[in-house]
Amino acid sequence: MLTVSGLKSGYGALPVLHGVDLAISAGEVVGLLGRNGAGKTTLLRTLGGALVAQAGTIRIDGRDVSRSRTYMRARAGIAHVPQGRGIFGRLTVEENLEVGTRAAGKIDVKRLLDEAYAHFPILRDRRRQMAGTFSGGQQQMLAIARALCGQPKALLLDEPSEGIQPNIVQEIGELVPRLARERGIAVLLVEQNLDLALHASGRCIVMDKGLIVHAAETSAFRNEELLAQFLAL
């Protein structure tokens, strides 16, 4: 389980998160919604360690990682797939995946790669190809596969549908909840594509001005009045 309590963060003297409380169970996908500038990406960057928490706690399976460095959080089980994917374009597909396995510690690398290829067969077929030559959708698949190679307990996905073709968006929408369920991963999904967010998530939360302002089962967010109230849609 990923548990967040009273989390505050920001950029220098600019506060963004004002005391976020959040809990995601193993095997659960939670969609994080909100207007641009609400603090969604800042939350994911703080959980992953790219930003330093100014106050509050972050726990993964009860372990406090609030002050841990990024690589230590990865080893503890937090994997972050950032907006823009962050793959290594000058490395091959397989080299990208091997980088991801480092978070898993001393373990059978071949087994981890085989598991990733099982979820994304196209990556096996192109494992010697330079990752920078991939399409946006293929790079997103690679980014998720690389994160899975670290055997995460919590997976943070920031706008996985951004700039990719509809058929791959649909694949991601099917894959994410299945991975969460089968591997017991707690998933936090930031997504502007409401169809994807509502399809993949069991429940959704809304951020506004650095706070969680609403939470409900996914079905509640099919109400247009609710969407208009919180997301100005």
Domain boundary assignment for the chain: 2-85+152-231
Round to whole Å and give the CA distance between 206 and 5.
16
Helix segments in 128-208, DSSP class H: 136-148, 166-183, 194-200
Tally the residues of the chain: 233
Contact 153, 185 (CB under 8 A): yes
- Cβ atoms 152, 103 nearer than 8 A: yes
Is the torsion defined by CA of 159, 160, 165, 170 positive or negative?
negative
How far apart (Å, rounded) are the C-alpha atoms in residues 15 and 144? 30
| pTM, to two decimals | 0.93
| CATH top-level class of 2-85+152-231 | alpha beta
Per-residue pLDDT of the chain (233 residues), as tens digits, is 999 999 999 998 899 999 999 999 999 999 999 988 999 999 999 999 999 999 999 999 999 999 999 999 999 999 999 988 789 999 999 999 999 998 887 778 999 999 999 999 999 999 999 999 999 889 999 999 999 999 999 999 999 998 888 888 999 999 999 999 999 999 999 998 999 999 999 999 999 999 999 999 998 888 777 777 777 64
